[in-house]
Structures are given as structure tokens and as C-alpha cells.
Structure 1
Amino acid sequence: MTVVASNYARKENDLYQTEPWATEALLRHFPMHGRTVWEPAAGNHLMAEVLREHGATVRTSDIATYDRQHDAIFDFLIDRPHREPSIDAIITNPPYGKGNRDAVKFAGLALERCDGFVALLLTAKFDFGKTRRHLFADNPRFWAKIALVDRIQWFPGETSGTEDHAWYVWGPKGTVHVRCMFWEGREPVREAV
């Protein structure tokens, strides 16, 4: 697949809704049944709905309200909530920002604020680069990358997404895990035998 410019004019606090299949791709490898998950960039709750359908209790927050009310309104990158939710995981599609700087900051804060699982939906090349070693190569909590072989369509219409994405998964503090790489799409990807 070739990455092309989308020609989409971005605006502040824009809403990027994650198609349900992308969250299901994560849950095939890391089920959240019975866990309490914080979705801190919840948008219109598409990801939260999939998590709930798969048995998770979900707390939502975001910087703005779109069509759905959140449990809390605040900027995850700037504000610290008065009382952080009691959670087992943070799962979200965070804002990326210029050069992915907001996403790097978001990942660091998520790992600080959650001793359990952290799963972030980011660009497929997010783990490239020496300035992110603290999140991946030098971080024992980093467990897995799930490359999405289909592109996410962020906005309604006939066009598909213009960039490749992946889930990055960090495990609970103090656990040891062999790092894994998976490939998933709209339908489960079966490995050849």
C-alpha cells in the first residue's frame, strides 16, 4: 500500500472515529473481559462500545464533547483528573500532533497513570526512531505490535484511509512477556501453516 496525502483540512479537537473492526483486532490478542478500561480520547465512544460488547467496564473522557457525554472532560496531555479512575487498562486512539509529538507524550503519560495494560492505536511507523527507545526497545513493559493490514476509514464517504496503523501494547508493571508481532485486519488474519 502507498501512503498518500489525504488533503483533509484538520481543525482543533477534530474527531477521528475508530472503526469497530480495529478495536476488535486488538481484542483478539488481548481480551479485556472483566477489566476496567479507561478510554481517555473517547470521541463518540465507538471504541468504548466495542470494549463493552466484549465484557469490559469502560470509563470515558476527552478534551471535548461530541455527540456522547463522557464520564469526565479534560485534556489528558495537560490536566490531571481530580480523581483518576480505578482502572486495569488504558486503551485509546490518542491525538498524534505534529511529528507524533503529542502521541509520544500521551504514551508516556498513559504508562505513568496506568500500572496495567496500555494499548494505543498509532501510525504503523510510530516505533521507528531513536527518540522513542524509552517506549519500546528500552521499556520492559512493551509487549506487542499489532499491524493492521487494512486501512482505517476515519471519515464517512467512499475513500479509504491514507495511512497504515498499528496497535502498540504495553503490559502491566512488573510482568515479563516475550515481545510479539501480529497482523490483523477487518477479518481475522490466519497464519499459513
Structure 2
Amino acid sequence: MTGAASVKPLFQAMKPKRDARQAALADFAQMPRPKDVRDPLDFDPTPKDATRPFVAAELSHIRAHGRRVWETAVGAGHIAEVLAEFGFEVVGNDVVDRGWPGVELRSFFDVEEARAPIQITNPPYNQINASNGHGRWLRHAMQCGASYVALLLNADWPAARINGFDSLLYDHPPSIEYLCCWKIDFRGGGAPPQRNSWFVWDINRLPMGPNCWVRQRLYKDFQDPAQGVLGLDHIGSGV
């Protein structure tokens, strides 16, 4: 007697076939992710178009403190070169020589007295954020005795509350924050998801109060100062 026919071929025929697009997505998911290429010293070159609008907006306030600026994390001189365009004399420190002429190879934290009354930089974020830096960079900038400090930071930087940030911003609220109304592409690989702001501490402009400061919109487009007119009309009103 012959056995009953197997139903296995029938079920195999009914099983949905794998779509080619699904196969491609599955293969993509298995691909190794690119390694983190972040510089171990948190070096993020600052595009000049991130600095020019800020300096144009703040020029009269900066000049009120003189013509000598200390770039405390000078790197390859991206910010220093813009400051020179506006007529400032720049002295610079860093822990690594990245090619800026005249760099003093010395950590910012090893300098006890400000080399100039004005400090303008994009500091290593791991030295000023709450989780790693505990706001250390700002604390030292205040201790050095500069009369004007401007730092390019993540716009969410002051939202942290851990590791003493409440007291830090209570004691040292900025005079003004310039919110960049565009996303800055630091590494040439496309703009990152976060927003950035220039935060300013200026002894000539008292903050509104503890944990309180003026926030102003900053636009990327401005007129070249070499043309004789600065793009101050592009700066929005404070809120």
C-alpha cells in the first residue's frame, strides 16, 4: 500500500518569498558601522562663516576692551584668522601645534593670568560640558581675569543641571547668547543635528540676573567688513 502524499511541497509553495529589497536592507543592517572619528582632544575646526557674523555683531563691544585677543584653544587658527580680518592682534595657546604661527604650546589651564583682556574660542567640549568637563573651562576663564569671554558652544549647553551647573550659571550667567540660526558643519561631512550658540560674558554688560540672560538670533549672512558696512541689520532683536 502506497503512503499518503506529502503536503510539504504545498506549504513551501505557499510560503512568501523574500523580497529583494528586504534582502538588501537585511544585508545593510549587518554592515559594520563606521568608527567614531572624533578627535581625542575634541578638536572641531570652526568654519569661518560661524565666526564672522558673531564678530560683526559684537565688534563695538569687543573693541571696548582693546585690540588684543587671546584665542585659548587656537588649533589651526580658524577663529584667529577671522579676528585678524577685523583688525585684532591675536595670541594663541593650545596643547598641540596644528599649524597656527606663533602658537604657545601650553594648556589653557596652566595659564593663571589672562594673556589679553579678551578671550574668544571654541573650547574642547569635553572640558566645558557638565558630564565630562564640569564647566571647568568657564570657571578657569573667569579666574584668569579676562573682561570679555566669548565661547562657541552647543545651544543646549546651559540646560545641564549635574556636576554643579546650577551654581555655575547662577554665579556666572552670560551677558548675552547669540543663537546661530543655521547648523554649523564643523567637519565637512554635513551639518550635525545640534544647534550652536555664542555665549558672551562681558563685564561692561551686566547679566539680567542669576540664571537669566538675553538671547538673540544670529544669521549666517552678513556684509564683509572690508566693504565698510557691517551686517548688524541681520541680527534679530533680543528675546
| Shared fold (TM-score, shorter chain, > 0.5) | yes
- Considering only aligned residues, what root-mean-square deviation do their CA atoms show, in Å? 2.7
Question: RCO (CA 8 Å, sep 6+): is it higher in 1 or 2?
Answer: 1
Residue 67 of structure 1: how far off its partner (Å): 2.4
What is the identity percentage for the equivalent residue pairs of Structure 1 and Structure 2?
A: 24
Q: How far did residue 98 of structure 1 move?
A: 7.9
Deviation at 1:14, TM superposition (A): 4.8
- Could you tell me which amino acid in structure 1 is paired with residue 149 of structure 2? V
TM-score, with structure 2 as normaliser: 0.66
> SS at 2:39's partner residue?
coil
Q: Deviations over 1:72-111 (max 9, x none)?
A: 111224x236x752x1211100011188233710111011
Corresponding residue to 2:72 among 40, 43, 48: 40
Report the counterpart of residue 28 of structure 1 in structure 2.
56
2:97 corresponds to 1:69: no
Q: Is the 8 A contact 1:35 1:88 kept in 2?
A: no
**Residue 151 (structure 2) aligns with:** 120
Runs of 4+ in 1 over 6 A off after TM superposition: none
Greater shift, 180-189 or 110-119, is seen at 180-189
What is the distance in 1 between the residues matched to 2:153 and 2:88?
22
Higher share of residues assigned helix: 2
For structure 1, list consecutive stretches of 5 or more residues without a partner in the other structure: 1-5
- Name the CA distance, whole Å, in 1 between partners of 2:40 and 2:160: 27
- 1:136 maps to 169
CA distance in 1, matches of 2:205, 2:188: 40
SS of 2:51 mapped into structure 1: helix
Paired residues in the alignment total 181
After TM superposition, the score normalised by the length of structure 1 is 0.80
Comparing both structures, which one devotes a greater share of its residues to strand? 1
Match of 1:160 in 2: 191
Cα distance between partner residues in 2 of 1:90 and 1:116: 8
Picking from 90, 103, 106, the partner of 2:119 is 90
Distance 1:183 1:175, change over 3 A: closer
Q: Please say if residues 96 and 103 of structure 1, whose CA atoms lie closer than 8 Å, have aligned partners that are also in contact.
A: no
The whole-number CA distance in structure 1 between the counterparts of 2:165 and 2:206 is 20
- Equivalence map 1:165-176=2 (5 Å): 165-172=196-203, 176=206
State how 1:4-19 maps to structure 2 within 5 Å. Answer: 8-19=36-47
Taking the aligned partners of 2:216 and 2:35, their CA distance within structure 1 comes to 30
Q: Distance in 2 between matches of 1:73 and 1:43?
A: 10
Deviations 1:115-174 (A, max 9, x none): 31011111111111333234433336x2011111111111134x22332111111012x7
Task: State the shift of 1:55 in Å.
Answer: 1.8
Contact 2:94 2:104 in 1 (8 A): yes
Alpha-carbon distance in 2 for matches of 1:135, 1:37: 24
Alignment partner of 2:192: what SS? coil
Are 2:185 and 1:185 equivalent residues in the alignment?
Answer: no
| 1:3 matched residue in structure 2 | none
- Specify the structure having the higher radius of gyration (Cα): 2
- Cα distance in 2, alignment partners of residues 18 and 73 from structure 1: 20
